[in-house]
Amino acid sequence: MVESGMPQIEHNSVEIDPEKLSGTPVFRGTRVPIQNLFDCIETGESIDDFLRQFPTVDRKQVMAVLEESKEQLLVGYEVAA
C-alpha cells in the first residue's frame, strides 16, 4: 500500500501504480501507457509500428496485454461447437 491509500495493482504484463503516471495502467517496467497500444491499433498501425515507437516495450508484453484483454472480454461466453 502506498501513502495515497491506493493499492499498487500488478498483473503479469500491466502495472498500475499511483506513483507512476498517476496510476495509469502501463506496460510493466516502463512508463508506456497501455492505452497507447490500443490507440495505435485503432488508427491502423501495426504492432511492429507500436514497438518501433516504444522501444522499451517488447512483443511478448504486447501479446500478453492483448491476450489478457481478450480473456476479460470473453469471460462468461462459451464458444459454440
Per-residue pLDDT of 8-21, as tens digits, reads 444 588 999 999 99
Q: Show the domain range for 47.
A: 9-74
Q: How far, CA to CA in Å, does 48 sit from each of 21, 33, 77?
A: 24, 17, 30
> Is the C-alpha dihedral spanning 61, 67, 70, 72 positive or negative?
negative
Per-residue pLDDT of 19-53, as tens digits, reads 999 999 999 999 999 999 999 999 999 999 999 99
Any domain includes 26: yes
Any domain includes 2: no
Least confident window among 32-36, 60-64, 65-69, 70-74: 70-74
CA distance 14 to 43: 22
CATH of residue 22: 1.10.10.10
SS3 state of residue 16: strand
Any domain includes 1: no
Any domain includes 79: no
- Number of domains observed in the structure of the chain: 1
Any domain includes 27: yes
CA distance 49 to 19: 28
| Predicted TM-score (pTM) of this structure | 0.77
CA distance 75 to 69: 10
